[in-house]
C-alpha cells in the first residue's frame, strides 16, 4: 500500500510538471489595442507649414500659415483642402510661432472653423494684436512640460522654456509631442531647442514621425545629436529641400527614416495607433468620409529606409 501511494504521488508530480511546462511553452499573447484610424495630413503649401490631424471626431491644426505679407481671405490651397476634407470645426489650433508662413491664418481659421470651445495655443502669454479679436474660442499659452488630453490625443509641450521674443522668432517655436495609441509625432516649427534634452532627458528617445524644422532650409535648426536620439521613422519636410535633409539624416547616423516632402503633393499618414501607412500625392477630399477610412484603402508605401 505504501509503495502504491508513493507511485501515485510520483505520477501526480509528473503531471504537474508536464502542465507547468506546457504553460511555459504557450504564453498568452496580448494583442495591441487599436484605435479608430487617425489621419495626419501634410498640406502642400510650398514654403509654409500646414498640418491637419484628426481621428474623425477630434480635429487639430498645426500652424497653417501663409507665406505672404498680405492677409487674404482666400487662402489657397489650405481652405480648399480643408473644405474638401469635410472639416466643419477645429478643436485646437497649435501655432508654433508668429511668422506669417506659420501663423497668418489664425483669425481667418477661427472665423471659419472655430467654436466657443476652440482653443488656439501658442508660445506667448498673449496672442499678437494683429490676430485679434478671435471670432470664436479663445487663446492659451502652451507652456514648457505642459500636458493636454484632447479627445484620444495626448499632447506634451517640451519647449520653449521661456519665450524670449513673445513668439516672434524661430527660437520661440513650440516643440511638442502628439501621441495617438502607440505612435508619436514631434512638431517643431522652425527650431528644435538645443537645451531640450538637458531640461527633459525623457525626450531623448525615438519618435515615429518628425516634422522637420525650418522647412528643411539651411540652417537646419536641429542638432545631429537630437536626430540620433529621436531616430524618426518618418520625416516630413514642409518645403522642397528633401535631398539635403536626407543627407543630413544619413550623416546623423539615424538607422531608420523615410523622408517625404511636398514635391510629392499632399501627404497623408494613417495609423490605428499601432500600424502606419504613408500616402503621397493625395487629392483634396480623398479622406472626406472620416468614419469609413480603414488601413489599406490605398497603396501602402513600405518604410524600408533611404
Residue 156 and residue 169: Cα distance in Å, rounded?
21
What are the angstrom distances between the C-alpha of 168 and each of 27, 108, 228? 55, 19, 29
Contact, 50 vs 78, CB < 8 A?
A: yes
Give the pLDDT confidence of 173-200 residue by residue, as tens digits. 999 999 999 999 999 999 999 999 999 9
Give domain limits for the chain. 34-292
Give the pLDDT confidence of 209-246 residue by residue, as tens digits. 999 999 998 889 999 999 999 999 999 999 888 889 99
Mean pLDDT for the chain overall: 86
Q: What is the arithmetic mean of pLDDT over 75-88? A: 89
C-alpha cell at 188: 517643431
Residue 249 and residue 235: Cα distance in Å, rounded?
10
- Please, which pLDDT band fits residue 289 given cuts at 50, 70 and 90? low
The CATH code belonging to domain 34-292 is 3.60.15.10
Assess whether pLDDT exceeds 80 at residue 26.
no
Contact, 251 vs 276, CB < 8 A?
A: no
Assess whether pLDDT exceeds 50 at residue 300.
no
C-alpha cell at 197: 534634452
Residue 88 and residue 59: Cα distance in Å, rounded?
9
Type and span of the H or E element at 97 = none
Judged by DSSP in three states, 40 sits in strand
Give the pLDDT confidence of 140-183 residue by residue, as tens digits. 999 999 999 999 999 999 999 999 899 999 999 999 999 999 99
Residue 229 and residue 207: Cα distance in Å, rounded?
9
Q: Which of 41, 93, 36 is nearest to 209 (CA)?
A: 41
Assess whether pLDDT exceeds 60 at residue 11.
no
Amino acid at each position: 500500500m505504501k509503495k502504491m501511494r508513493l507511485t501515485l504521488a510520483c505520477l501526480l508530480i509528473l503531471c504537474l510538471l508536464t502542465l507547468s511546462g506546457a504553460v511555459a511553452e504557450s504564453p498568452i499573447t496580448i494583442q495591441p489595442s487599436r484605435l479608430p484610424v487617425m489621419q495626419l495630413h501634410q498640406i502642400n503649401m510650398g514654403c509654409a507649414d500646414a498640418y491637419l490631424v484628426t481621428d474623425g471626431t477630434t480635429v487639430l491644426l498645426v500652424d497653417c500659415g501663409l507665406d505672404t505679407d498680405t492677409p487674404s481671405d482666400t487662402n489657397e490651397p489650405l481652405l480648399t483642402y480643408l473644405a474638401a476634407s469635410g472639416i466643419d470645426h477645429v478643436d485646437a489650433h497649435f501655432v508654433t510661432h508668429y511668422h506669417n508662413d506659420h501663423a497668418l491664418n489664425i483669425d481667418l481659421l477661427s472665423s471659419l472653423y472655430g467654436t466657443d470651445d476652440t482653443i488656439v495655443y501658442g508660445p506667448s502669454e498673449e496672442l499678437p494684436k494683429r490676430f485679434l479679436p478671435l471670432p470664436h474660442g479663445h487663446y492659451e499659452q502652451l507652456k514648457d512640460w505642459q500636458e493636454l488630453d484632447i479627445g484620444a490625443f495626448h499632447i506634451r509641450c517640451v519647449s520653449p522654456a521661456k519665450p524670449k521674443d513673445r513668439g516672434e522668432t524661430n527660437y520661440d517655436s513650440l516643440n511638442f509631442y502628439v501621441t495617438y495609441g502607440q505612435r508619436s509625432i514631434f512638431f517643431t516649427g522652425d527650431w528644435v531647442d538645443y537645451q531640450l534634452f538637458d531640461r527633459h532627458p525623457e525626450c531623448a528617445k525615438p519618435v515615429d514621425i518628425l516634422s522637420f524644422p525650418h522647412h528643411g532650409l539651411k540652417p537646419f535648426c536641429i542638432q545631429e545629436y537630437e536626430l540620433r536620439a529621436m531616430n524618426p521613422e518618418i520625416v516630413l519636410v514642409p518645403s522642397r529641400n528633401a535631398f539635403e535633409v536626407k543627407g543630413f539624416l544619413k550623416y546623423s547616423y539615424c538607422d531608420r527614416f523615410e523622408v517625404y516632402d511636398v514635391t510629392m503633393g499632399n501627404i497623408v499618414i494613417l495609423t490605428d495607433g499601432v500600424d502606419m501607412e504613408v500616402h503621397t500625392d493625395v487629392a483634396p477630399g480623398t479622406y472626406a468620409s472620416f468614419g469609413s477610412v480603414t488601413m489599406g484603402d490605398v497603396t501602402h508605401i513600405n518604410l524600408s529606409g533611404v
